[in-house]
Structure 1
Amino acid sequence: MTRWKFFKEGDIVDVVAPGYPSQPHEVDGSRDFLLKWNLVPRIPKGLIKPHFLHANEDEARFEFLKNAIQSKDSSVIWCMRGGYGSNRLVPMLAKLKKPKEPKLLIGISDITSLHTFLTQEWGWSTLHAPLLDRLGRGLVASKFEKELHGILFGQETDVEFKKLKPLNDQARNIKLLKSRVVGGNLAVLQTTLGTPWQIDAKKSLLFLEDTGERGYRVDKMLEHMRQAGVFKQCHGLILGDFIGGNEPGSDQSKLKQVFKRWSEDLDLPIFQGLEAGHDVIQRPVPLNTSCVLSQKNGKVLLNIDTGGKA
């Protein structure tokens, strides 16, 4: 893995909008948040313009992303929001020469497309963590904002998750597993299948999360992954938050049954309870860094290296 640089006060943060647009007050809130951390927000003029789907035309969104990647005076790229649009930029991104110095990409949801490309093609370590517009709107509890600050500024060298629960015997039988975490949003990862940038989960723990997807759709996406060979040589599945997705006219979801079926059907350890995704708690998940999963007396610990360096 390639390590990113810990933040220092006064560092420039390149802000990009590869997916949906943000409203002017959300842009202002994002700027104010970075200033609160004594960082220098670089939000380019014209970053967001009227478009029927995205924050801007494909070529413009890519140009802003390319400039952020190639800028010599910054080492972090923070996404304004998710939505839809990042995967349209990946073919253009693939034509770029890999920079000599790695940068840290931060974002969730639609940004999974960029995480997957950067970790697999360029070997970078990235961070599945809250988007700027969410932080700017004060939607991240102070406890978790403090955790994120500690990770980015180097006070924390790993992220520890204590609430994982094994869903099958394969998971319950694990005592110690050294691996790395890849993945992100399930629906976005499905869009990588059959492309040159298909998610590679070999010798890795595959982290999955999603929002608003009904049980049958989650089942269908997992089946697509199985048929595409994603689960071959995978170390296991780590399920984050799956919110929404209730059946029509009901307050009930079929996700519990879906995950039960897959825990019985797949010859892989499956764990549930990673506090990451689209729910209220969005803890940072370092991608493409070393991790250790251990289990003792029924308690599961997952420690993930942040990927940062001084």
Structure 2
Amino acid sequence: MGHWKFLQEGDIIDAVSPGYASTPEDIEGSREFLLRWGLTPRIPKNLIKPHFLHSNEDEARFRFLKAAIEAEDSNTIWCLRGGYGSNRLLPMLAKLTKPKQPKLVIGLSDVTSLFAFFQQEWKWPVMHAPILDRMGRNVTLPRHEKEFRDLLFGTKKEITFKKLKPLNDAAKETKQIKSKIVGGNLTVLQSTMGTPWQIKADRSLLFIEDIGERGYRIDRMLEQFRQGGILKKCDGIILGEFLEGAEPKTGVNNFKQVFNRWAQDLEIPLYSGLEAGHGTIQRPIPFGTSCELSKSGNSFELVIQSGGKK
């Protein structure tokens, strides 16, 4: 996986909008946030236009993404928000010539589609982390914003997740796993199945999270992964946050039963407790870099290298 350059004050950040539209207020908030971090926001004037599904027409969203990819004066692409649309850009992306210089791509949720392409096709570094307009709304806790900034600016070269919970015997009996992280939003990962950009989890720890999906849908997606061979050579699965998805009859979700079932079914380790997803806490996760998961008392600790360099 290619290295990315640590941010420095004054660096240009290319904002893109591959999925849903951000409001004018959120765009302005994103701009102010980047300026507060000492960075130079580049948010094209016509990035957002009225559309019944997306932030703009497919061709326009791709044109702005292509410009950010090919810009020689920037090293970082940061998605304004998630929301459906990124996967429609992949066939157009596939026709581009891979630039010589890799860039860091930041986002989450629907941006998982772009992650699958950039990580697998171009070996570009990607980071599952808060979208720009969320940072611009100032809803991130100060300690988590500092952790994120330290990681991007190179003050910290790794991030540690403590107290991961082992859910099956394979996880409990594991002492150490040296691997790399792949994955993202479970529903979006499922949408890559059967495409040229189908998620590959061989010799990797698969991180998954989701929001608004009921338990049977989560079970169905994981079963498709199993039948599709995605889990065959996977080092293990790590669960981020799974939110909402209440059952109509009970008003609560049945995630616990679903994941307990999978814990018993799986021959590979299954862990929960990674503080990332669509919830209040969205800690950054570098994908594709070296990581180490090791036992710490009755729980596990995951240390992921940032992949950045000066």
TM-score by length of 1: 0.99
Superposed CA deviations along residues 46-93 of structure 1, whole A, max 9, x for unmatched, are: 000000000000000000000000000000000000010000001110
**Which residue identity lines up with residue 86 of structure 2 in the other structure?**
S
In the other structure, the counterpart of 2:83 is 83
In the other structure, the counterpart of 1:67 is 67
In the other structure, the counterpart of 1:40 is 40
Alignment of 1:135 with 2:135, yes or no, is yes
| CA distance in structure 1 between the partners assigned to 2:169 and 2:90 by the alignment | 38
In the other structure, the counterpart of 1:98 is 98
Post-superposition shift, 1:118?
0.5
Post-superposition shift, 1:296?
3.5
| CA distance in structure 1 between the partners assigned to 2:250 and 2:61 by the alignment | 39
Unaligned 5+ runs, structure 2:
none
In the other structure, the counterpart of 2:207 is 207
| CA distance in structure 1 between the partners assigned to 2:133 and 2:152 by the alignment | 18
Post-superposition shift, 1:45?
1.3
| CA distance in structure 1 between the partners assigned to 2:96 and 2:128 by the alignment | 23
| CA distance in structure 1 between the partners assigned to 2:236 and 2:125 by the alignment | 20
Post-superposition shift, 1:249?
4.9
**Which residue identity lines up with residue 227 of structure 1 in the other structure?**
Q
Post-superposition shift, 1:163?
2.3
Map 1:210-221 to 2 at 5 A.
Answer: 210-221=210-221
Post-superposition shift, 1:124?
1.4
Map 1:103-182 to 2 at 5 A.
Answer: 103-182=103-182
In the other structure, the counterpart of 1:306 is 306
SS in 2 for 1:31: helix
Identity between Structure 1 and Structure 2 (%): 61
Superposed CA deviations along residues 246-266 of structure 1, whole A, max 9, x for unmatched, are: 111533111100000001011
| CA distance in structure 2 between the partners assigned to 1:297 and 1:32 by the alignment | 43
Deviates more, 1:30-39 or 1:240-249: 240-249
In the other structure, the counterpart of 2:296 is 296
SS in 2 for 1:2: coil
| CA distance in structure 1 between the partners assigned to 2:257 and 2:249 by the alignment | 19
Name the Cα RMSD after superposition.
0.7
| CA distance in structure 2 between the partners assigned to 1:212 and 1:251 by the alignment | 13
In the other structure, the counterpart of 1:253 is 253
Superposed CA deviations along residues 228-257 of structure 1, whole A, max 9, x for unmatched, are: 110010000000000111111533111100
**Which residue identity lines up with residue 30 of structure 1 in the other structure?**
S
SS in 1 for 2:271: strand
Post-superposition shift, 1:176?
1.1
- Off by >4 Å, runs of 4+ in structure 1: none
SS in 2 for 1:14: strand
| CA distance in structure 1 between the partners assigned to 2:296 and 2:57 by the alignment | 51
> In the alignment, is the contact (CA less than 8 A) between 2:166 and 2:299 conserved in 1?
no
| CA distance in structure 2 between the partners assigned to 1:250 and 1:57 by the alignment | 40
SS in 1 for 2:75: strand
